């Protein structure tokens, strides 16, 4: 079951591309969080999506919102991809236990062993204010993310 708008976002702590732990709950009361699940580093659609975030980062990440991108790739692969693409937002590894966080959010694709394209905007209070899930190979329309971020109350 996919996490729905109005529900409390499941908390998680995952290693970033440098293996430093990042917890969703560490942002509570300070910043909203745009959690972007994607299938695989270095894949065409995922690269295009995250490059679009990189190229228009101010629309997604600012003093009120933090982007956290999550895949089931291991941290070293995420580090190489972040360096190759110039990503400055955290890429988090849901590698082990494999896909555990993606499963909690209802976006784990069992047959593929990967996350689906799930996007969740978590408010300051930990409540999901936006949720979207796309199947593998189907790119997301990020204009809905921009609208959701722009609609957040100014703190």
The catalytic position among 32, 46, 69, 122 is: 46
- What count of residues does the chain have? 155
Q: Report the distance separating Cα 84 and Cα 128, nearest Å.
A: 31
Q: Report the distance separating Cα 148 and Cα 91, nearest Å.
A: 21
Is the C-alpha dihedral spanning 42, 146, 11, 102 positive or negative? negative
Shortest CA distance to 87 belongs to which of 13, 14, 18, 22?
18
DSSP 108-136: EETTTTEE-EEEEEE-TTSBEEEEEEE-T
Residue 46 bears catalytic tag: yes
Residues noted as catalytic: 46
């Amino acid at each position: 079951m996919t996490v729905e708008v109005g529900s409390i976002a499941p908390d998680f702590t995952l290693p970033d591309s440098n293996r430093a732990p990042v917890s969703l709950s560490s942002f509570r009361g300070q910043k909203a969080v745009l959690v972007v699940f994607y299938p695989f580093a270095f894949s065409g659609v995922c690269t295009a999506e995250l490059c679009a975030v990189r190229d228009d980062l101010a629309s997604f990440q600012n003093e009120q919102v933090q982007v956290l991108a999550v895949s089931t790739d291991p941290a070293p692969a995420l580090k190489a991809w972040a360096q190759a693409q110039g990503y400055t937002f955290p890429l988090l590894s849901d590698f082990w236990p494999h896909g555990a966080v993606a499963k909690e959010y209802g976006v784990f694709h069992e047959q593929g062993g990967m996350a689906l394209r799930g996007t969740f905007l978590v408010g300051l209070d930990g409540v999901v204010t936006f949720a979207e899930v796309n199947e593998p190979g189907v790119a997301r329309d990020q204009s809905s993310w921009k609208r959701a971020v722009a609609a957040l109350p100014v703190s």
